[in-house]
Amino acid sequence: MKEVILTQDNFNEEIQNAKTPVLVDFWAPWCGPCRNMLPIVEELSEELDGQVKIGKVNVDEEEMLARLFNVRSIPMFVVFENGKPVRSFLGSCPKQTLIDFINGKEIKEEE
């Protein structure tokens, strides 16, 4: 499954109607760490198809959504369960770390 492009118009519907947890990737095309995470996010959208929905929010195009979720730095990942944000993670990371984050394991952010 390909990632869902989330906009102000479809965000609530995509999040609220999801039958699985949703990983939302807040990113921008000019962001180096975001570009580094792109292949990992794309791989996970295939590998976790049916288990996790993956959505992407371009913070330049969707400033209201970025403000709503207090996105101050990118990439920022937020997991939604039952339509509500339950945890967030900031920055780039290895694939396994992102999988652990999606699954609710405690992530120690590197300093």
Catalytic positions: 31, 34
Helix/strand/coil (H/E/C) assignment for every residue in the chain:
CCCEECCCCCHHHHHHCCCCCEEEEEECCCCHHHHHHHHHHHHHHHHCCCCCEEEEEECCCCHHHHHHCCCCCCCEEEEEECCEEEEEEECCCCHHHHHHHHCCCCCCCCC
